[in-house]
Structure 1
C-alpha cells in the first residue's frame, strides 16, 4: 500500500501517562520529540477550499533542519468522513526555494500548523502524540504494517486501539489544517 496512508486521530484526554505506560509495558519506545511546522497552500488552478467537502492538501513541513513537500488526497472524495488518503511526500533541500516557487506560480498560503510530535511504534502501528499550538493535544494511530486492503489496515488500527483498553477522547475526522481554519467536516 505504498503512497496510501490509513490513520485514526483522537483528541487526547489528560493525562496521557496511562497510555504511555501501557505502550511501554507492551514494549514500545518513544522516539525523540520534534517540532514540525507545516505550511499549507492552496492551488491557483483548483481551489482546495472551493468544494463543500475538502479532500486535498499541499504542504511544506520543516523539522529539525530538514524539509519535505507533501500532497494528500483524502478518500472517499465526496464523503465527510475519510478512510484513507493518497500521500505523496518527498524530501526537499531548500524549503524557502520551494515556498518562493509556489508563490511565483500563484499558490497561496492557507495556514500554518505548529506542533510538537512524539512518535512511538508498536505492532505495525505508528503512534504520534501531537501537541498542536492553538488546537490542543491529540494522538494519531497510523498503520505501517502489511495489509492487502484499506479495510484490513483500518481494522488493524481499530483492533490495536481497542486492545489498549484506555479511553482516548473524541475521535477526530479532520486534519489539523481543517481545525486550524475552523472547518469541521465531521466530529
Structure 2
C-alpha cells in the first residue's frame, strides 16, 4: 500500500514562506503542471460531501504524463479522512488514454493549472503552489522513515508551524484543488 501523508494550507505571504523554505531546504524542481480530473458517468467523485474521497487524474508535467488514482483511507468518527492510498503510472500517449476514458463513460470534470516548486527539507517534501484562479498554497508531505501515519502527520504540522504558519491543524485544507475550484464557482 502506498500511504501518503500531507498537509496543505492556503498562504497569503508566499514570498516570505518561500524565503524561509529556501534557507532550510533544497529546490528540487520548478514546473508547470496541468491536472485533468475525470469522473465516471455513474459515480461523480466530486458529489461526495464534505469532499471527495477518490481522485482520478491525468497529470501533465514538462517531462512526463502520469495517470493517478488516489483514495482516502482511515475514516475518522467525524467522517473525515487523514491519509490516502495513491497509485500512479506513467503513460506514453495521453490522447489515446483520453479516448479510452471517453469510451468507458468517463468525463473530464475539471482542469487545474498550477506552477509548483518542489523543495526537500530533510524528511519533508514541500510543494509551493501558485494555482491559477485560486492563489497560493503550501503542501508538506512526509517522505522520511516515520513510525506511523500519526508521527508523519505531526512532522508535517511541526514543519509548517516552524515556518510561522499558525494553527495549522485548523487551517489545514482537506479538499483538493479541483474541489476548491468547483466550490469557488458556486459563489
Q: TM > 0.5 between the two?
A: yes
The correspondence of residues 82-97 of structure 1 with structure 2, limited to 5 A, is: 82-97=81-96
Paired residue secondary structure (1:165): coil
Alignment CA distance shift 1:182-1:162 (3 Å): same
1:30 — aligned with what?
27
1:13 — aligned with what?
12
TM-score by length of 1: 0.86
Q: CA RMSD in A?
A: 2.3
Alignment CA distance shift 1:140-1:80 (3 Å): farther
Q: Deviations over 1:5-54 (max 9, x none)?
A: 1111111112x33323322332x122331110000000245332343342
Higher strand proportion, which one? 2
Q: Cα offset for 1:148?
A: 2.8
2:46 — aligned with what?
49
Q: Distance in 1 between matches of 2:47 and 2:54?
A: 11
Alignment CA distance shift 1:117-1:124 (3 Å): same
Paired residue secondary structure (2:105): coil
Q: Deviations over 1:52-94 (max 9, x none)?
A: 3421110000111410000011134575543111100111111
Q: Is 1:131–1:137's contact at 8 Å kept on the other side of the alignment?
A: yes
* Structure 1 unpaired stretches of 5+: none
TM-score by length of 2: 0.86
Higher helix proportion, which one? 2
* Structure 2 unpaired stretches of 5+: none
